Structure 1
Amino acid sequence: MENGTAPERQWTFLTNHARVLVQIARDPGIRVRDIAAFCLLTERAVQRIITDLEQAGYLSHERRGRTNHYSVIASKHLRHPADAGPTVSELLAALLRQDPRPDHENPASTTPRG
């Protein structure tokens, strides 16, 4: 600690599990290597997360030739009691939205006034 200031705490809104799930939802045929690159994780960490998600029933995979094809179990409810209610599908719908701005801030959704 220089100058008596506390170091800045590092945190994020999403867990690594959520990030991996989002990448798989975007591209069910994505490679572990590519997920790792997008999420800034190691391939080993991504493999552990995929295993966790499969064991908890949020994800399944099917081998197609030399690659895996993943399926997100969208009807599954979030597991933490504080998050009770929404499904994986509802979470992904919010996270995969293309333009996060509300309609009143989205220039494409405004109509010209005459």
Structure 2
Amino acid sequence: MDEVAEPYASWTFLTNHARVLAAVAENDTTRIRDIAARCRLTERAVQRIIADLEEGGYLTHIRQGRSNLYRVSPDTVLRHPADGEATVAALLALLAPHDRTDTTPAAPDPDEER
């Protein structure tokens, strides 16, 4: 079994709950083992987080044989009062990988008026 990497020793922008939710949203048939590896958590921690997300109404799952099919509830409002009416869909849109691969700024147009 793969070892979980050392926990990050400093602060981060995202909670583990947000990371797990994003992993499930990206692949609704992903395994707990794969989520744990991606998020650098233990499998047990991922199980607890998924239970929290299900209890909060952010996630559901359906058993399909030996696997789970997860469903994210995109219209669910985030928990913190400072988030206002922001939804899970809005959070996931921010976290979604962008297709843009060229990060070089465009050169200014020499004919453009200043």
What is the distance in 1 between the residues matched to 2:94 and 2:34?
Answer: 22
SS in 2 for 1:24: helix
Q: Deviations over 1:58-108 (max 9, x none)?
A: 00000011100100000000010011211100110110132579xxx845x
SS in 2 for 1:77: coil
TM-score scaled by structure 1? Answer: 0.80
Q: In the alignment, what sits opposite 1:73?
A: 73
Structure 1's consecutive aligned runs of 4 or more residues displaced over 3 angstroms after TM superposition are: none
Q: In the alignment, what sits opposite 2:21?
A: 21
> How high is the sequence identity, in percent, across the aligned residues?
54
Per the alignment, do residues 76 and 38 of structure 1 end up closer, same or farther by CA in structure 2, a change over 3 Å counting? same
Count of equivalent residues = 102
- Structure 1 portions without partners, runs of 5+: 1-8
TM-score scaled by structure 2? Answer: 0.80
- Structure 2 portions without partners, runs of 5+: 1-8
Q: In the alignment, what sits opposite 2:11?
A: 11
SS in 1 for 2:63: strand
Deviation at 1:50, TM superposition (A): 0.1
1:33-112 alignment to 2 at 5 Å? 33-99=33-99, 106=103
